[in-house]
Amino acid sequence: MTDPNAIQPSELDQLPDRDPEETAEWQASLDAVAQAAGPHRAAYLMRRTLERAEGAGIALPKLLETDYVNTIPTAAEPAVDGDEEMEARITAWNRWNAAAMVTRGSKYGVGGHIATFASAAWLYETGFNHFFRGKEADGSGDQLYIQGHASPGIYARAFLDGRLNEDHLDNFRRETGGNGLPSYPHPRRLPWLWEFPTVSMGLGPLSAIYQARFNRYLTARGIKDTSASHVWAFLGDGEMDEPESTAALALASREGLDNLTFVINCNLQRLDGPVRANFKIVQELEAQFRGAGWNVVKTLWGSAWDELFQLDTTGALVRRLREVPDAQIQTYQTRDAAYIREDFFGKDPALAEMAKLLSDDKILECFHVSRGGHEPRKVYAAYQAALAHKGAPTVILAQTVKGHTLGEGFASKNANHQMKKLTVDEFKAMRDRLNLPIKDSDFVDGQVPYGHPGADSPEVRYLQERRAALGGPAPARRVHPVPALPAPAEKAFAAFDKGSGSQNVATTMAFVRLIKDLVRDKETGKRWVPIVPDEARTFGMESLFPSLGIYSPKGQTYEPVDRDQLMYYKEAKNGQILNEGITEAGSMADFIAASTSYATHGEPMIPFYIFYSMFGWQRTADQMWQLGDQLGRGFLIGATAGRTTLTGEGLQHADGHTPVIAATNPASLTYDPAFAYEVAVIVREGLRRMYGEAKEGEDQNVFYYLTVYNEPLPQPAKPQGLGIDEGIVKGLYRFNTAESAGLTPAAGAPRIQLLGSGTAIHWALKAQKMLTEEWGVAADVWSATSWTELRRDAMEADAALLRGEERVPYVRQALQGAEGPVLAVSDYMRQVPDQIAQWVEQDWSSLGADGFGLSDTREAARRHFGVDAESIVVAALAQLAKRGEVKATAVKEARERYGL
């Protein structure tokens, strides 16, 4: 494995050496020590020497940094395999149309970003022309994570190659008309073009790492050979401040993901100003990535700087570049040659002498435009080096100018991220700068024209030929036609219909038992991807370790401490379980990669990610949104759910709100099952909908969120009768009546409907018995498996009515004719059941666990929140008393009897 921290010889070529003979003597001395006393002694002496230099104040880069120069010197750059002049013309057209699109849209006030693509154009164009493999290449092609704010440039390229037309460009950020383009990479809005949503900054780099890792997982498990796929993530230097951006760097190097390259556009600017005004972001990132074990390639300076480095015989230039902060580099971009002579060169006598040899034009060329990220040869060299490097991922730090080629009003200005348009005069100056054949007369009524050389022009033919050689258009998203997965054997689901008898079983355990059967299925078992953030034992999943194995690219290089036990900790190169350690963010990134494999690789996988419900949506709701945006499919399992079921853990573990957060995600089908057979029905339906034969008009691009509990309770048999499965899937069915429960309310007794979800139904069942036996009230109990699905159905019914269609919400149909008021209860805040209140015709009230959680027993916590059986009885009596169906004194009496 190549050591990513080693200084490569090519880096030394750019550093001046006044006495090569002395340098050779030092090197020979080091070689002699290593040979005579061993490498450990040589390393010891080097460390002590560096410590001495630091203590003496000798200016050295930090051990994890190299000097502020290019990693690959000009002399080592390979020739570009293509027509550089043609590619320059193509890039010029794309620059023009990207700026024109945003400017033309500005009259509608929809915004847009110009400066980002202007800085990064060659970073993309070089890749599209030479490196990025399309979907028709071997394997699955490459995966491209495009920087969100650069989307206009990607649209401009798609326009040039004929995939978009002027009407599309004119509808940038205006999607309701039918030909609109989304503002950023959004697969749900433009699913044939975009694969990965990236503009929620920080999620792109995290997802890219786990995508590269999942590619290896598919190969290791024999699902698909993805060894030819490469993941490219384009990022901004300011974006790297997001904690998610660097959260998994160590994972990428630890697992040797040399199928991954980060390209960080270091234009030194974020949205409001410099990324590191008083420091150097490139050096900081280099140290961070080198420290994490990545290969680092710096592409900082353009070829105009070659002459300056050749003149630097004392090292003064390299020293000065190392000490100038980023904000001052930005200032040089906007100042004249006299200012740069005085402020940059004038700080050192040797540099002052060098400046005398440079013309003003040369100084301005170097400091205003000549950046490594703007020269295709340098970008080409960096990309080729990244692909050649083996054993570790590569990060390319490419220095650019934000707003490059847009004119002096844009380049390096702090406000350029918010600048949405150019004037006609600025466009004409840009046209001249880019040497484009656009006439003044093409500007009709002051509107900038789009530019296109013609569908049969040399530029378009070249572009399309290059893409054909690389495997087709890019970016592109393809959903390969694959047959629906066969349904697993019914036996696995039917096993829960008879209940658990006298055995107490938590719904978490019921889910795990179901999965154990499903992963054994001959047809689909291998497609399950169990994902756990270091909590498998909490959820009773340790029995899967020896049977499925935990994925590790190294296998198991040690003897596990529990090897003599039946359920020992087994790692394997072809392991099926992804046990990610304590990282919900990493686990979600895994889930997203697996859940979209049906499109990315044409291989449908069935991920289930099981987590403490409190630490899923609350911590990673942004990634759940990303999952929906990326059209992912699979099962999210919020275990140890509810505010009162996880005994003793307290506020930070007590989940009373994740169904509320989940309800905000349109792609999430949220269920709170009470019984084991409900879990089985929901999972069976989820497999059919997402992976089987979809019904007409049914969206397969959804995911399921199930809350399951750790409280062992009797699991009843599935009720007999028509419509039970339909009710479970739609969100509500009657579990029993007072009479079918074996109770004998008096004729004409007051009646109430108790709706419960999840573990709360057990309190409702206890309250049902108390109401009849102690208060003469008949109660029917309903299982509300999904408040959210009931609400969505009702909202669709409302929308249908506005269109003149007659439609009754399912919740109203289900409760039609049910006597008395309705009292709903869950182990979540009241807002969860209250989602359906407006569509219930009966009098409505609810109970819930609002507020912060607390540490105590389940019984004490439920009494505290007023959701236990006794509290339900009092609330039910209060509702009936309001209607005059029981005496008002009954409420006070019940309160006192139960000590509420």
Q: How far apart are CA 556 and CA 82, in angstroms?
A: 46
Three-class secondary structure assignment of 326-395: HHHHHHHHHCCHHHHHHHCHHHCHHHHHHHCCCCHHHHHHHHHHCEHHHCHHHHHHHHHHHHHCCCCCEE
User: Mind giving me the DSSP string for 118-147?
Assistant: HHHHHHHHHHHHHT---TTSSTT--EEE--
The pLDDT value given to residue 7: 39
Length, in residues, of the chain: 900
Q: Which of 198, 187, 183 is closest to 112 using CA atoms? A: 183
Average pLDDT score, the chain: 93
Provide the phi-psi class of 15: left if phi over 0, else alpha when psi is between -120 and 50, else beta: beta
pLDDT tens per residue across span 686-740 = 999 999 988 888 999 999 999 999 999 999 999 988 899 999 999 999 999 999 9
Rg of the chain over CA atoms, in angstroms?
33
Report yes or no: 525 and 605 within 8 Å, Cβ to Cβ: no
pLDDT tens per residue across span 610-632 = 999 988 888 999 999 999 999 99
Provide the phi-psi class of 444: left if phi over 0, else alpha when psi is between -120 and 50, else beta: beta
Q: How far apart are CA 98 and CA 744, in angstroms?
A: 75
Q: How far apart are CA 295 and CA 256, in angstroms?
A: 11
Q: Which of 642, 758, 685 is closest to 487 using CA atoms? A: 685
Report yes or no: 875 and 847 within 8 Å, Cβ to Cβ: yes
Kindly tell me if the per-residue pLDDT of 62 is higher than 70. Answer: no
The pLDDT value given to residue 509: 95
Q: How far apart are CA 18 and CA 16, in angstroms?
A: 6
* CA torsion, ordered 166, 167, 168, 173, to nearest 10 deg: 110
pLDDT tens per residue across span 312-361 = 988 899 999 999 999 999 999 889 999 999 999 999 999 999 999 999 99
Structure tokens at 167: 């009407």
The pLDDT value given to residue 5: 42
Q: Label the pairing between strands 550-551 and 143-145.
A: unpaired
Question: What are the residues whose beta carbons fall under 8 Å from the beta carbon of 537, sequence distance 6 or more?
Answer: none
Structure tokens at 3: 């050591």
Calculate what percentage of the chain has a pLDDT beyond 70. Answer: 97
The pLDDT value given to residue 314: 85
Kindly tell me if the per-residue pLDDT of 387 is higher than 90. Answer: yes
The pLDDT value given to residue 285: 97
Sign, CA dihedral 361-363-368-371, equals positive
Q: How confident is the model at residue 419 (pLDDT cuts 50, 70, 90)?
A: low
pLDDT tens per residue across span 559-607 = 999 888 888 999 999 999 999 999 999 999 999 999 999 999 999 999 9
Q: Which residues pair with 703 in a beta bridge?
A: 634, 668
Say which DSSP state 613 is in.
G
Q: Which of 424, 430, 426 is closest to 444 using CA atoms? A: 424
Residue type, 245: S
Q: Label the pairing between strands 733-736 and 778-783.
A: antiparallel
Q: How far apart are CA 512 and CA 498, in angstroms?
A: 17
